[in-house]
Structure 1
Amino acid sequence: MSYHCFVIKCGGSTLAALPSSFFDDMRKLQQEGAIPVIVHGGGPAISSTLEQLGIESVFVNGLRKTSEEVLDVVEMVLAGRINKEIVRKIQESGAKALGLSGVDGQLIQAKPVDNTEEVGWVGDVTAVNAELIQGIVSMGYIPVIAPIGIGEDGSQRFNINADTAAGAVASRVGVERMIVVTDVPGVMKTVDGEKKVLPSVTVQEIDQMIESGEIYGGMIPKVRAAVQCIQGQVREVVIVDGTVPEVLSKVIQGEAIGTRIVKEA
Protein backbone atom coordinates (compact mmCIF):
# COMPACT_ATOMS: atom_id res chain seq x y z
CA MET A 1 0.00 0.00 0.00
CA SER A 2 1.30 3.46 -0.79
CA TYR A 3 1.23 5.90 2.10
CA HIS A 4 2.04 9.45 2.96
CA CYS A 5 2.97 10.97 6.30
CA PHE A 6 1.74 13.99 8.13
CA VAL A 7 3.09 15.33 11.41
CA ILE A 8 1.00 16.05 14.50
CA LYS A 9 2.33 18.11 17.39
CA CYS A 10 0.43 17.80 20.63
CA GLY A 11 0.92 18.48 24.30
CA GLY A 12 0.94 15.30 26.37
CA SER A 13 -1.94 16.43 28.61
CA THR A 14 -4.02 17.54 25.59
CA LEU A 15 -3.58 14.21 23.80
CA ALA A 16 -4.36 12.19 26.93
CA ALA A 17 -7.64 14.09 27.37
CA LEU A 18 -8.90 13.64 23.79
CA PRO A 19 -11.98 11.47 23.18
CA SER A 20 -11.60 7.97 21.74
CA SER A 21 -13.22 9.22 18.51
CA PHE A 22 -10.01 11.23 17.82
CA PHE A 23 -7.99 8.01 17.86
CA ASP A 24 -10.63 6.19 15.80
CA ASP A 25 -10.19 8.90 13.15
CA MET A 26 -6.42 8.36 13.34
CA ARG A 27 -6.90 4.61 12.83
CA LYS A 28 -9.11 5.23 9.81
CA LEU A 29 -6.51 7.52 8.25
CA GLN A 30 -3.77 4.97 8.92
CA GLN A 31 -5.83 2.27 7.18
CA GLU A 32 -6.24 4.61 4.20
CA GLY A 33 -2.47 5.17 3.98
CA ALA A 34 -2.27 8.62 5.61
CA ILE A 35 -0.01 7.89 8.55
CA PRO A 36 0.57 10.43 11.31
CA VAL A 37 3.95 10.96 12.92
CA ILE A 38 3.28 12.27 16.43
CA VAL A 39 5.67 14.49 18.38
CA HIS A 40 4.41 15.20 21.89
CA GLY A 41 5.32 17.43 24.79
CA GLY A 42 4.50 17.11 28.47
CA GLY A 43 5.53 20.28 30.28
CA PRO A 44 2.83 20.28 33.01
CA ALA A 45 3.48 16.62 33.87
CA ILE A 46 7.24 17.30 34.10
CA SER A 47 6.64 20.31 36.38
CA SER A 48 4.32 18.38 38.72
CA THR A 49 6.76 15.43 38.92
CA LEU A 50 9.66 17.79 39.70
CA GLU A 51 7.52 19.41 42.41
CA GLN A 52 6.74 16.00 43.94
CA LEU A 53 10.48 15.29 44.03
CA GLY A 54 11.23 18.67 45.58
CA ILE A 55 13.15 19.93 42.53
CA GLU A 56 12.51 23.56 41.54
CA SER A 57 11.28 24.35 37.99
CA VAL A 58 13.15 27.31 36.52
CA PHE A 59 12.40 28.79 33.10
CA VAL A 60 14.69 31.09 31.10
CA ASN A 61 12.97 32.77 28.12
CA GLY A 62 10.42 29.97 27.97
CA LEU A 63 13.01 27.16 28.12
CA ARG A 64 13.16 24.84 31.12
CA LYS A 65 16.51 25.09 32.90
CA THR A 66 17.74 21.50 32.61
CA SER A 67 20.37 20.13 34.97
CA GLU A 68 21.36 16.46 34.78
CA GLU A 69 18.92 15.83 37.65
CA VAL A 70 16.06 17.59 35.81
CA LEU A 71 17.00 15.75 32.61
CA ASP A 72 16.48 12.40 34.37
CA VAL A 73 12.93 13.47 35.27
CA VAL A 74 12.22 14.93 31.79
CA GLU A 75 13.25 11.64 30.16
CA MET A 76 11.31 9.55 32.68
CA VAL A 77 8.08 11.53 32.23
CA LEU A 78 8.24 12.16 28.45
CA ALA A 79 9.80 8.96 27.11
CA GLY A 80 8.23 6.82 29.83
CA ARG A 81 4.81 7.70 31.19
CA ILE A 82 3.40 10.11 28.58
CA ASN A 83 4.81 8.36 25.53
CA LYS A 84 3.38 5.00 26.59
CA GLU A 85 0.04 6.55 27.57
CA ILE A 86 -0.34 7.89 24.02
CA VAL A 87 0.74 4.56 22.49
CA ARG A 88 -1.86 2.73 24.63
CA LYS A 89 -4.61 5.15 23.57
CA ILE A 90 -3.78 4.64 19.88
CA GLN A 91 -3.64 0.87 20.24
CA GLU A 92 -6.97 0.79 22.11
CA SER A 93 -8.53 2.21 18.92
CA GLY A 94 -7.14 -0.71 16.91
CA ALA A 95 -4.31 1.20 15.23
CA LYS A 96 -0.66 0.22 15.60
CA ALA A 97 1.81 2.54 17.30
CA LEU A 98 5.46 2.49 18.28
CA GLY A 99 6.72 4.84 20.98
CA LEU A 100 10.29 6.08 21.00
CA SER A 101 12.35 9.06 22.02
CA GLY A 102 14.90 10.99 20.01
CA VAL A 103 17.60 8.92 21.72
CA ASP A 104 16.40 5.66 20.09
CA GLY A 105 18.33 4.95 16.90
CA GLN A 106 19.74 8.49 17.25
CA LEU A 107 16.39 9.64 15.91
CA ILE A 108 16.89 13.28 16.93
CA GLN A 109 20.49 14.47 17.08
CA ALA A 110 21.12 17.68 18.96
CA LYS A 111 23.76 20.13 20.11
CA PRO A 112 23.65 22.49 23.09
CA VAL A 113 21.71 25.74 22.58
CA ASP A 114 23.73 28.95 22.52
CA ASN A 115 22.91 30.02 26.10
CA THR A 116 23.89 26.70 27.72
CA GLU A 117 25.32 28.48 30.79
CA GLU A 118 21.81 29.75 31.57
CA VAL A 119 19.61 26.81 30.55
CA GLY A 120 21.79 23.70 30.95
CA TRP A 121 21.16 20.61 28.83
CA VAL A 122 18.67 22.10 26.37
CA GLY A 123 19.32 21.14 22.76
CA ASP A 124 18.91 22.44 19.23
CA VAL A 125 18.16 19.81 16.59
CA THR A 126 21.05 19.16 14.19
CA ALA A 127 19.73 16.04 12.40
CA VAL A 128 16.69 13.76 12.26
CA ASN A 129 16.91 10.09 11.26
CA ALA A 130 14.11 10.33 8.67
CA GLU A 131 14.91 6.82 7.36
CA LEU A 132 14.03 5.33 10.75
CA ILE A 133 10.69 7.19 10.80
CA GLN A 134 9.92 6.10 7.25
CA GLY A 135 10.85 2.50 8.14
CA ILE A 136 8.43 2.48 11.09
CA VAL A 137 5.69 4.02 8.93
CA SER A 138 6.27 1.54 6.09
CA MET A 139 5.73 -1.31 8.58
CA GLY A 140 2.31 0.18 9.34
CA TYR A 141 3.07 1.73 12.73
CA ILE A 142 2.35 5.27 13.91
CA PRO A 143 5.61 6.69 15.38
CA VAL A 144 5.05 8.48 18.71
CA ILE A 145 8.13 10.56 19.48
CA ALA A 146 9.23 12.09 22.79
CA PRO A 147 11.48 15.13 22.21
CA ILE A 148 14.66 14.02 23.94
CA GLY A 149 17.74 14.49 21.75
CA ILE A 150 21.13 12.81 21.72
CA GLY A 151 24.54 14.36 21.03
CA GLU A 152 26.54 13.38 17.97
CA ASP A 153 28.84 11.10 19.99
CA GLY A 154 25.83 9.38 21.58
CA SER A 155 26.75 10.17 25.18
CA GLN A 156 24.84 13.34 26.14
CA ARG A 157 21.05 13.63 26.22
CA PHE A 158 19.25 16.93 25.60
CA ASN A 159 15.85 18.31 26.53
CA ILE A 160 14.35 19.69 23.30
CA ASN A 161 11.38 22.01 23.04
CA ALA A 162 8.56 19.86 21.61
CA ASP A 163 7.53 22.49 19.04
CA THR A 164 11.09 22.85 17.76
CA ALA A 165 11.43 19.05 17.60
CA ALA A 166 8.11 18.68 15.74
CA GLY A 167 9.07 21.32 13.18
CA ALA A 168 12.46 19.66 12.63
CA VAL A 169 10.88 16.20 12.23
CA ALA A 170 8.27 17.54 9.79
CA SER A 171 10.89 19.35 7.73
CA ARG A 172 13.32 16.41 7.58
CA VAL A 173 10.56 13.92 6.73
CA GLY A 174 9.54 16.27 3.90
CA VAL A 175 6.14 17.36 5.17
CA GLU A 176 4.85 20.77 4.09
CA ARG A 177 1.87 20.96 6.44
CA MET A 178 1.82 20.22 10.13
CA ILE A 179 -1.17 19.87 12.45
CA VAL A 180 -1.00 21.29 15.97
CA VAL A 181 -3.71 19.65 18.05
CA THR A 182 -4.75 21.77 21.00
CA ASP A 183 -7.78 22.63 23.14
CA VAL A 184 -8.79 25.82 21.29
CA PRO A 185 -10.62 26.17 17.94
CA GLY A 186 -7.83 28.28 16.41
CA VAL A 187 -6.50 31.82 16.56
CA MET A 188 -9.34 34.07 17.70
CA LYS A 189 -9.97 37.70 16.78
CA THR A 190 -12.71 39.99 18.06
CA VAL A 191 -14.75 41.33 15.14
CA ASP A 192 -17.70 43.66 15.90
CA GLY A 193 -17.63 42.60 19.54
CA GLU A 194 -17.74 38.91 18.64
CA LYS A 195 -14.88 36.41 18.86
CA LYS A 196 -14.23 34.64 15.58
CA VAL A 197 -11.69 32.07 14.43
CA LEU A 198 -9.29 33.40 11.82
CA PRO A 199 -9.19 30.91 8.92
CA SER A 200 -5.69 32.00 7.88
CA VAL A 201 -2.98 34.22 9.34
CA THR A 202 0.68 34.94 8.51
CA VAL A 203 3.60 34.81 10.93
CA GLN A 204 3.97 38.59 10.60
CA GLU A 205 0.26 39.15 11.42
CA ILE A 206 0.64 36.99 14.54
CA ASP A 207 3.53 39.16 15.76
CA GLN A 208 1.38 42.26 15.18
CA MET A 209 -1.61 40.73 17.01
CA ILE A 210 0.53 39.83 20.03
CA GLU A 211 1.93 43.38 20.08
CA SER A 212 -1.54 44.94 19.83
CA GLY A 213 -2.94 42.66 22.55
CA GLU A 214 -5.43 40.90 20.23
CA ILE A 215 -3.67 37.62 21.02
CA TYR A 216 -3.12 37.42 24.75
CA GLY A 217 -2.76 35.12 27.76
CA GLY A 218 -2.53 31.38 27.16
CA MET A 219 -2.96 31.81 23.39
CA ILE A 220 0.45 33.51 23.04
CA PRO A 221 2.54 30.39 23.78
CA LYS A 222 0.22 28.31 21.55
CA VAL A 223 0.70 30.53 18.47
CA ARG A 224 4.39 31.08 19.19
CA ALA A 225 4.77 27.31 19.38
CA ALA A 226 3.00 26.90 16.04
CA VAL A 227 5.27 29.52 14.47
CA GLN A 228 8.32 27.62 15.79
CA CYS A 229 7.12 24.61 13.80
CA ILE A 230 7.35 26.58 10.53
CA GLN A 231 10.93 25.82 9.55
CA GLY A 232 12.74 24.17 6.67
CA GLN A 233 10.23 22.61 4.27
CA VAL A 234 7.22 23.22 6.52
CA ARG A 235 5.11 25.89 4.80
CA GLU A 236 2.06 25.97 7.05
CA VAL A 237 0.80 24.88 10.43
CA VAL A 238 -2.88 24.24 11.15
CA ILE A 239 -4.05 24.83 14.73
CA VAL A 240 -7.14 22.74 15.49
CA ASP A 241 -9.28 21.69 18.43
CA GLY A 242 -8.78 17.96 18.91
CA THR A 243 -12.33 17.44 20.18
CA VAL A 244 -13.91 18.36 16.81
CA PRO A 245 -15.27 15.13 15.23
CA GLU A 246 -12.94 13.69 12.55
CA VAL A 247 -10.74 16.76 12.81
CA LEU A 248 -7.65 15.06 11.32
CA SER A 249 -9.59 13.76 8.31
CA LYS A 250 -11.05 17.21 7.75
CA VAL A 251 -7.61 18.85 7.72
CA ILE A 252 -6.16 16.17 5.41
CA GLN A 253 -9.10 16.63 3.02
CA GLY A 254 -8.45 20.37 2.93
CA GLU A 255 -11.60 21.48 4.77
CA ALA A 256 -11.49 24.97 6.25
CA ILE A 257 -11.12 24.17 9.94
CA GLY A 258 -9.09 25.82 12.67
CA THR A 259 -6.46 28.40 11.71
CA ARG A 260 -3.82 28.01 9.02
CA ILE A 261 -0.62 29.81 9.97
CA VAL A 262 1.47 30.45 6.87
CA LYS A 263 4.99 31.82 6.42
CA GLU A 264 3.82 34.70 4.27
CA ALA A 265 0.76 35.75 2.31
Structure 2
Amino acid sequence: MEKRFVMKCGGSTLAALPDPFFQELKELQEAGVKPVIVHGGGPAISETLTSLGIPSEFVNGLRKTSNDVLDVVEMVLAGRINKEIVRKIGLNGAQALGLSGVDGGLIQARPVANSHEIGFVGDVTEVNASIIEGIMNMGYIPVIAPIGIDGAGQRYNINADTAAGAVASELGVERMIVVTDVPGIMKTVDGEKKVLPSVTVEEIDEMIQSGEIYGGMIPKVRAAVQCIQGAVSEVIIVSGTESGVLTRAVTEGGVGTAIVKTREGKVS
Protein backbone atom coordinates (compact mmCIF):
# COMPACT_ATOMS: atom_id res chain seq x y z
CA MET A 1 0.00 0.00 0.00
CA GLU A 2 1.30 3.48 -0.86
CA LYS A 3 2.50 5.72 1.97
CA ARG A 4 0.48 8.86 2.53
CA PHE A 5 -0.12 11.27 5.37
CA VAL A 6 -2.20 14.33 6.19
CA MET A 7 -0.34 17.28 7.67
CA LYS A 8 -2.12 20.11 9.43
CA CYS A 9 -0.28 23.37 9.95
CA GLY A 10 -1.22 26.90 10.93
CA GLY A 11 -0.67 29.48 8.21
CA SER A 12 1.63 31.60 10.39
CA THR A 13 3.59 28.50 11.43
CA LEU A 14 4.09 27.43 7.81
CA ALA A 15 5.20 30.90 6.76
CA ALA A 16 7.88 30.85 9.47
CA LEU A 17 9.23 27.40 8.62
CA PRO A 18 12.71 27.26 7.06
CA ASP A 19 13.36 26.05 3.51
CA PRO A 20 14.75 22.68 4.72
CA PHE A 21 11.26 21.77 5.92
CA PHE A 22 9.85 22.24 2.40
CA GLN A 23 12.84 20.49 0.85
CA GLU A 24 12.10 17.56 3.15
CA LEU A 25 8.52 17.60 1.89
CA LYS A 26 9.87 17.43 -1.67
CA GLU A 27 12.19 14.53 -0.80
CA LEU A 28 9.32 12.60 0.77
CA GLN A 29 7.20 13.15 -2.35
CA GLU A 30 10.07 11.99 -4.58
CA ALA A 31 10.40 8.87 -2.41
CA GLY A 32 6.79 7.96 -3.20
CA VAL A 33 5.14 9.40 -0.09
CA LYS A 34 1.96 11.37 -0.84
CA PRO A 35 1.41 14.31 1.56
CA VAL A 36 -1.86 16.22 1.94
CA ILE A 37 -1.75 19.62 3.67
CA VAL A 38 -4.66 21.25 5.51
CA HIS A 39 -3.78 24.72 6.80
CA GLY A 40 -5.13 27.41 9.07
CA GLY A 41 -4.36 31.12 9.20
CA GLY A 42 -5.81 32.57 12.39
CA PRO A 43 -3.28 35.38 13.02
CA ALA A 44 -3.50 36.62 9.41
CA ILE A 45 -7.31 36.58 9.63
CA SER A 46 -7.23 38.57 12.88
CA GLU A 47 -4.79 41.08 11.41
CA THR A 48 -6.95 41.61 8.31
CA LEU A 49 -10.16 41.94 10.34
CA THR A 50 -8.49 44.58 12.52
CA SER A 51 -7.23 46.52 9.51
CA LEU A 52 -10.75 46.50 8.05
CA GLY A 53 -12.37 47.52 11.35
CA ILE A 54 -14.44 44.32 11.59
CA PRO A 55 -14.91 43.14 15.21
CA SER A 56 -13.85 39.57 16.01
CA GLU A 57 -14.07 37.40 19.11
CA PHE A 58 -13.59 33.76 20.13
CA VAL A 59 -15.99 31.37 21.86
CA ASN A 60 -14.31 28.28 23.37
CA GLY A 61 -11.35 28.63 21.02
CA LEU A 62 -13.43 29.04 17.84
CA ARG A 63 -13.82 32.34 15.97
CA LYS A 64 -17.29 33.87 16.08
CA THR A 65 -18.10 34.17 12.37
CA SER A 66 -20.56 36.70 10.99
CA ASN A 67 -21.08 37.03 7.24
CA ASP A 68 -18.54 39.89 7.13
CA VAL A 69 -16.02 37.82 9.08
CA LEU A 70 -16.67 34.84 6.81
CA ASP A 71 -15.83 36.91 3.72
CA VAL A 72 -12.46 37.82 5.27
CA VAL A 73 -11.81 34.23 6.44
CA GLU A 74 -12.33 32.94 2.91
CA MET A 75 -10.27 35.74 1.34
CA VAL A 76 -7.31 35.18 3.68
CA LEU A 77 -7.38 31.37 3.88
CA ALA A 78 -8.33 30.38 0.32
CA GLY A 79 -6.52 33.36 -1.21
CA ARG A 80 -3.44 34.74 0.48
CA ILE A 81 -2.37 31.90 2.82
CA ASN A 82 -3.21 29.04 0.47
CA LYS A 83 -1.25 30.55 -2.40
CA GLU A 84 1.70 31.49 -0.17
CA ILE A 85 2.03 27.83 0.81
CA VAL A 86 1.69 26.59 -2.78
CA ARG A 87 4.29 29.12 -3.90
CA LYS A 88 6.75 28.19 -1.15
CA ILE A 89 6.41 24.47 -1.94
CA GLY A 90 7.03 25.25 -5.61
CA LEU A 91 10.11 27.36 -4.85
CA ASN A 92 11.59 24.32 -3.11
CA GLY A 93 11.10 22.04 -6.07
CA ALA A 94 7.87 20.20 -5.28
CA GLN A 95 4.49 20.59 -6.98
CA ALA A 96 1.38 21.66 -5.10
CA LEU A 97 -2.19 22.53 -6.00
CA GLY A 98 -4.23 24.77 -3.71
CA LEU A 99 -7.98 24.64 -3.16
CA SER A 100 -10.59 25.19 -0.47
CA GLY A 101 -13.34 22.93 0.79
CA VAL A 102 -15.77 24.86 -1.41
CA ASP A 103 -14.07 23.67 -4.63
CA GLY A 104 -15.96 20.74 -6.05
CA GLY A 105 -17.86 20.45 -2.78
CA LEU A 106 -14.68 19.00 -1.29
CA ILE A 107 -15.72 19.61 2.34
CA GLN A 108 -19.44 19.36 3.06
CA ALA A 109 -20.49 21.00 6.30
CA ARG A 110 -23.37 21.85 8.60
CA PRO A 111 -23.68 24.48 11.37
CA VAL A 112 -22.14 23.61 14.74
CA ALA A 113 -24.57 22.96 17.59
CA ASN A 114 -24.09 26.43 19.11
CA SER A 115 -24.33 28.30 15.80
CA HIS A 116 -26.81 30.73 17.40
CA GLU A 117 -23.91 32.20 19.40
CA ILE A 118 -20.96 31.54 17.11
CA GLY A 119 -22.37 32.16 13.62
CA PHE A 120 -21.21 30.48 10.41
CA VAL A 121 -18.88 27.92 11.98
CA GLY A 122 -19.27 24.42 10.62
CA ASP A 123 -18.81 20.76 11.42
CA VAL A 124 -17.68 18.47 8.60
CA THR A 125 -20.31 16.04 7.36
CA GLU A 126 -18.47 14.63 4.35
CA VAL A 127 -15.14 14.85 2.51
CA ASN A 128 -15.00 14.17 -1.24
CA ALA A 129 -11.85 12.06 -1.19
CA SER A 130 -11.92 11.45 -4.95
CA ILE A 131 -10.85 15.08 -5.55
CA ILE A 132 -7.85 14.69 -3.23
CA GLU A 133 -6.99 11.31 -4.77
CA GLY A 134 -7.11 12.83 -8.25
CA ILE A 135 -4.76 15.65 -7.31
CA MET A 136 -2.28 13.23 -5.70
CA ASN A 137 -2.43 10.93 -8.71
CA MET A 138 -1.44 13.86 -10.94
CA GLY A 139 1.73 14.26 -8.84
CA TYR A 140 0.66 17.33 -6.86
CA ILE A 141 0.50 17.94 -3.11
CA PRO A 142 -3.08 19.02 -2.26
CA VAL A 143 -3.09 22.16 -0.10
CA ILE A 144 -6.54 22.63 1.43
CA ALA A 145 -8.06 25.73 3.04
CA PRO A 146 -10.72 24.73 5.62
CA ILE A 147 -13.81 26.44 4.24
CA GLY A 148 -16.88 24.17 4.03
CA ILE A 149 -20.12 24.36 2.12
CA ASP A 150 -23.60 22.86 2.45
CA GLY A 151 -26.18 21.77 -0.12
CA ALA A 152 -27.70 25.26 -0.21
CA GLY A 153 -24.37 26.89 -1.01
CA GLN A 154 -23.81 28.35 2.45
CA ARG A 155 -20.14 28.62 3.36
CA TYR A 156 -18.77 27.74 6.80
CA ASN A 157 -15.60 28.59 8.68
CA ILE A 158 -14.20 25.24 9.84
CA ASN A 159 -11.51 24.83 12.45
CA ALA A 160 -8.42 23.65 10.55
CA ASP A 161 -7.70 20.87 13.04
CA THR A 162 -11.23 19.53 12.67
CA ALA A 163 -11.02 19.71 8.86
CA ALA A 164 -7.65 17.93 8.84
CA GLY A 165 -9.00 15.18 11.07
CA ALA A 166 -11.96 14.64 8.75
CA VAL A 167 -9.72 14.55 5.66
CA ALA A 168 -7.32 12.10 7.33
CA SER A 169 -10.16 9.79 8.40
CA GLU A 170 -11.75 9.83 4.93
CA LEU A 171 -8.43 9.04 3.23
CA GLY A 172 -7.72 6.27 5.73
CA VAL A 173 -4.14 7.38 6.36
CA GLU A 174 -2.06 5.66 9.02
CA ARG A 175 -0.75 8.82 10.61
CA MET A 176 -1.88 12.41 10.77
CA ILE A 177 0.82 14.97 11.58
CA VAL A 178 0.00 18.27 13.29
CA VAL A 179 2.86 20.74 12.75
CA THR A 180 2.84 23.52 15.34
CA ASP A 181 5.18 25.97 17.06
CA VAL A 182 5.39 23.70 20.13
CA PRO A 183 7.21 20.36 20.40
CA GLY A 184 4.13 18.44 21.54
CA ILE A 185 1.71 18.21 24.47
CA MET A 186 3.48 19.48 27.55
CA LYS A 187 3.02 18.31 31.13
CA THR A 188 4.62 19.75 34.25
CA VAL A 189 6.63 17.07 36.02
CA ASP A 190 8.53 17.99 39.21
CA GLY A 191 8.15 21.67 38.38
CA GLU A 192 9.51 21.26 34.84
CA LYS A 193 7.53 21.21 31.58
CA LYS A 194 8.23 18.08 29.54
CA VAL A 195 6.92 16.76 26.23
CA LEU A 196 4.75 13.68 26.62
CA PRO A 197 5.99 11.04 24.12
CA SER A 198 2.50 9.56 23.90
CA VAL A 199 -0.94 10.17 25.37
CA THR A 200 -4.20 8.25 25.10
CA VAL A 201 -7.67 9.57 24.39
CA GLU A 202 -8.65 8.96 28.01
CA GLU A 203 -5.62 10.85 29.30
CA ILE A 204 -6.44 13.79 27.00
CA ASP A 205 -9.95 14.00 28.50
CA GLU A 206 -8.43 14.04 31.97
CA MET A 207 -5.92 16.76 31.01
CA ILE A 208 -8.67 18.96 29.55
CA GLN A 209 -10.72 18.54 32.72
CA SER A 210 -7.72 19.38 34.91
CA GLY A 211 -6.79 22.43 32.81
CA GLU A 212 -3.41 21.03 31.73
CA ILE A 213 -4.63 21.24 28.13
CA TYR A 214 -6.32 24.58 27.47
CA GLY A 215 -7.09 27.32 24.93
CA GLY A 216 -6.22 26.69 21.28
CA MET A 217 -4.77 23.26 22.07
CA ILE A 218 -8.24 21.93 23.02
CA PRO A 219 -9.72 21.86 19.46
CA LYS A 220 -6.38 20.49 18.22
CA VAL A 221 -6.44 17.44 20.50
CA ARG A 222 -10.21 16.97 20.14
CA ALA A 223 -9.79 16.85 16.36
CA ALA A 224 -7.07 14.26 16.87
CA VAL A 225 -9.42 12.19 19.02
CA GLN A 226 -12.14 12.42 16.34
CA CYS A 227 -9.61 11.31 13.78
CA ILE A 228 -8.45 8.32 15.82
CA GLN A 229 -12.03 7.14 16.19
CA GLY A 230 -12.17 7.04 12.40
CA ALA A 231 -9.58 5.28 10.23
CA VAL A 232 -6.43 6.89 11.63
CA SER A 233 -4.53 5.03 14.34
CA GLU A 234 -2.06 7.72 15.40
CA VAL A 235 -1.81 11.51 15.38
CA ILE A 236 1.56 13.13 16.02
CA ILE A 237 1.93 16.71 17.26
CA VAL A 238 5.39 18.08 16.35
CA SER A 239 7.37 21.31 16.03
CA GLY A 240 8.08 22.20 12.40
CA THR A 241 11.43 23.74 13.30
CA GLU A 242 12.98 20.42 14.34
CA SER A 243 15.41 19.06 11.75
CA GLY A 244 14.07 16.07 9.82
CA VAL A 245 10.83 16.11 11.80
CA LEU A 246 8.57 15.12 8.88
CA THR A 247 10.62 12.12 7.84
CA ARG A 248 10.86 10.92 11.41
CA ALA A 249 7.13 11.38 11.99
CA VAL A 250 6.21 9.54 8.78
CA THR A 251 8.71 6.68 8.95
CA GLU A 252 9.87 6.18 12.50
CA GLY A 253 7.70 7.96 15.01
CA GLY A 254 9.44 8.79 18.28
CA VAL A 255 9.10 12.53 17.77
CA GLY A 256 6.69 15.02 19.36
CA THR A 257 3.60 13.66 21.11
CA ALA A 258 1.79 10.66 19.64
CA ILE A 259 -1.92 10.62 20.40
CA VAL A 260 -3.29 7.08 20.39
CA LYS A 261 -6.59 5.40 21.23
CA THR A 262 -4.94 3.01 23.68
CA ARG A 263 -1.36 2.13 24.57
CA GLU A 264 -1.77 -1.03 22.48
CA GLY A 265 -3.04 1.04 19.54
CA LYS A 266 0.26 2.83 18.97
CA VAL A 267 1.70 2.49 15.46
CA SER A 268 5.12 0.86 15.46
Shared topology, TM-score over 0.5?
yes
Which residue, out of 193, 198, 204, partners 1:206? 204
SS in 1 for 2:80: helix
Match of 2:30, as an amino acid?
A: Q
Contact 1:226-1:239 within 8 A present in 2 as well:
no
Q: Distance in 1 between matches of 2:248 and 2:218?
A: 21
Counterpart of 2:90? 91
Amino acid at match of 2:48: T
Report what 1:137 is aligned to. 136
How much has 1:44 moved relative to structure 2? 1.2
What SS is found at the alignment partner of 1:185? coil
- What residue is the counterpart of 1:227 in the other structure? 222
Tell me how far 1:223 sits from its aligned partner: 5.2
Q: Is the 8 A contact 2:208 2:218 kept in 1?
A: no
Q: Give the superposition deviation at 1:163.
A: 0.9
Distance 1:162 1:191 in 2: 30
Q: 1:255 to 1:228 in 2, by over 3 A?
A: closer
Alpha-carbon deviation of 1:187? 1.7
What does 1:1-265 correspond to in 2, within 5 Å?
A: 3-153=2-152, 155-213=153-211, 215=212, 220-222=215-217, 224-231=219-226, 232-265=230-263
Asked if the contact 1:227–1:261 (Cα under 8 Å) also holds between the matched residues in 2, the reply is no
Matched letter for residue 169 of structure 1: V
1:253: Cα distance to partner?
A: 1.3
- In the alignment, residue 196 of structure 1 is paired with which amino acid? K
Contact 1:110 1:149 in 2 (8 A): yes
Per-residue CA deviations over 1:21-79 (Å, capped at 9, x if unaligned) read: 00000000000111110000111111111111111102222221211111110000000
TM, length-normalised to structure 2:
0.92
Conservation of the 8 A alpha-carbon contact between 1:230 and 1:236? no
Q: Name structure 1 gaps, 5 residues minimum.
A: none
Native 8 Å contact 2:161 2:220 kept in 1:
yes
Secondary structure of the structure 1 residue equivalent to 2:99 = strand
Partners of 2:53 and 2:157 in 1: CA distance: 20
Structure 1 residues 60 and 197: CA distance shift in structure 2, 3 A: closer
Deviation at 1:114, TM superposition (A): 1.9
Contact conserved, 1:37 with 1:144, CA < 8 A, in 2? yes
Q: Structure 1 stretch 76-85 or stretch 252-261: which is displaced more?
A: 252-261
Shift of 1:200: 0.7
Distance 1:210 1:125 in 2: 23
Give the CA deviation at 1:233.
Answer: 1.4
Q: Structure 1, residues 93-135: CA drift from partner, whole Å, max 9, x if none?
A: 1000000000111110111222222111111111111001000
Distance 1:31 1:120 in 2: 42
User: In structure 2, what is the Cα distance between the partners aligned to 1:14 and 1:188?
Assistant: 18
* Uncovered stretches (5+) of structure 2, i.e. residues with no partner: 264-268
Cα-to-partner distance string for 1:132-155 (whole Å, 9 max, x where unaligned): 1000001110000000011124x2
Q: Is the 8 A contact 1:226 1:237 kept in 2?
A: no
Identity of aligned residues (%): 68
Contact map agreement 2:175 2:250 (CA 8 A) in 1: no
Report the aligned-residue RMSD.
1.6
Match of 2:266 in 1: none
Offset of residue 216 of structure 1: 5.4
Q: Which stretch shows the higher mean deviation, 35-44 or 229-238?
A: 229-238
* Paired positions, count: 260
Distance 1:141 1:147 in 2: 18
